[in-house]
Amino acid sequence: MSTFVKGGSVSTPFGRNEYLRSTQDVKVESYTVAAASVPARTIDGNAGQKILQPGTVMAKITSGGDAGKIGPYSSDTVGVTDGRSVLTNIVGLNDTFLPWQLIERDVEIGVVYQATAVQAWCFMYTLAGAAVPVALDNTTADAMRGGKKLQINFS
């Protein structure tokens, strides 16, 4: 039998981010995301939480121990020196919701490289990989519109 308990604690709500304008003609490729590339943050007093939302811009890691994997793109070239801050290393938008798995290990994800997305619903990281993602800027969106490997249109 189900029960209801009055009171309880208030927690920060989160869920799967919707970022696509349409699910028609979406093309996805598989990659492994390096757990170390996703910054940990404190949520409701719990430190060390790693959440990777769909719609996060992902880029290739070209140097270091995680070379060959991907991580969240960061527009900050000062603190991110593993290739994730280079526009030409962007591989697409994350399509897999990972609410806790990156705390434990690297995970295989789907990355969208052709689709129509809503720019305001997509994320990237700044300030040397700060724990809080920010809305996708126009420079990054322009780089994802018409590259050789990317065909992501934004509305």
pLDDT tens-place string over residues 14-37 = 789 999 999 999 999 999 999 999
**47 band by pLDDT with thresholds 50, 70 and 90:** confident
137 vs 43, higher pLDDT: 137
Instruction: Give the residue from 2, 55, 5, 52 showing the smallest Cα distance to 32.
Output: 52
Question: Does position 155 have pLDDT exceeding 90, yes or no?
Answer: no
Mean pLDDT of 77-89: 85
CB-side neighbour CA atoms (13 Å) of 54: 16
| Distance of alpha carbon 75 from alpha carbon 29, whole angstroms | 23
Buried b (16+ CB within 10 A) or exposed e, 114-132: ebbbebebbbbbbeebeee
- Whole-prediction pTM: 0.88
Query: Which pLDDT band, with edges at 50, 70 and 90, does 40 fall under?
Result: confident
Report strand pairing: 107-117 vs 57-60: unpaired
Which structure tokens are listed for 83?
Answer: 């290739």
Q: What is the mean pLDDT of the chain?
A: 87
